[in-house]
Amino acid sequence: SDLQKQEERGELLQPLIFVLLVFCSVLLYFKVSLMDPGFVKSEEEAGKSEEQSMVIPQVPSNIKMRRCGYCMVKQPMRAKHCQLCQHCVRRYDHHCPWIENCVGEKNHPLFIVYLSVQLVVLLWGGHVAWSGLYFEQSWDWLQHNILLLMSFLLIVVFTIVVLLLLISHLYLISCNTTTWEFMSHHRISYLRHSELENPFDQGIIVNLWRFFC
């Protein structure tokens, strides 16, 4: 049959891989959306001062952990209260409207994986859409290809957004800082009173290793 011939020629392998990537992207989306991003529990009072002093000895010792005025838990360093989630989140990065969840200590690495897979899917989909376009300067051609053309333009927009988001996150990760710390450096006490601009930076290789491993 035609299906068997296509399989023998390897023509079914690429569509199968594409479908698997889309399926993987959907699973990652729900995983990142539904998982705990690193909520600070009420029983975790202040935590791990010894660990913090080993990791970031440059942070002034007179900076004490404060109690959150909203959920009344003691915030570990780099944690922030999210008004939308109504929780303090460890190593808070940002609240992502795409996933309707915070990006924090627990789901940030998986969020990067999700963005990477999503970028591959978008680039592949854009290539497929572009290969199906044969431009002609006629109204009849536009009527028959308007949906494909709009799909391609939409894919281009989403690809640019995801690419810029992924690049910015990888840059911040390589510096061992978060979006919140980068945007609000002047308002964060442990950064404002530190002698170094970024007391968490331990070099690109160590930063990446500690984040992903």
Consecutive 10-residue runs of the chain (213 residues): their mean pLDDT? 55 84 95 93 54 44 68 86 91 93 95 96 88 65 73 92 96 94 87 82 92 89
Report yes or no on 69 lying in a domain: yes
Report yes or no on 213 lying in a domain: no
Contact 40, 85 (CB under 8 A): no
Name the packing angle between helices 204-212 and 139-174 (round to 10°): 110
What is this structure's pTM?
A: 0.80
Same structural domain, 13 and 101? no
pLDDT at 14: 82
Query: Of 35, 43, 18, 27, nearest to 126 (Cα)?
Result: 18
- Which residues have a Cβ under 8 Å from the Cβ of 126 and sit 6 or more positions away? 152, 155, 156, 159
b vs e for 97-118, b when ≥16 Cβ sit within 10 Å of the residue's Cβ? Answer: ebbebbbbbbbbeebbebbebb
Same structural domain, 129 and 71? no
Contact 199, 188 (CB under 8 A): no
Same structural domain, 6 and 110? yes
Residues with active-site annotation? 96
Same structural domain, 163 and 75? no
Same structural domain, 30 and 117? yes
Report yes or no on 2 lying in a domain: yes
Same structural domain, 152 and 136? yes
Same structural domain, 30 and 43? no
Taking the mean position of all CA atoms in its chain, how far away is CA 9? Answer: 38
- Per the structure, the complete domain to which residue 74 belongs is given by 38-47+65-105
Report yes or no on 195 lying in a domain: no
**How many Å apart are CA 140 and CA 52, to the nearest integer?**
66
Angle, CA 183 vertex, CA 180 and CA 186 arms, to 5°: 105
pLDDT at 6: 55
How many other CB atoms are there within 10 angstroms of residue 8's CB atom? 9
pLDDT at 162: 95
pLDDT at 205: 94
Report yes or no on 57 lying in a domain: no
Same structural domain, 99 and 125? no
Report yes or no on 130 lying in a domain: yes
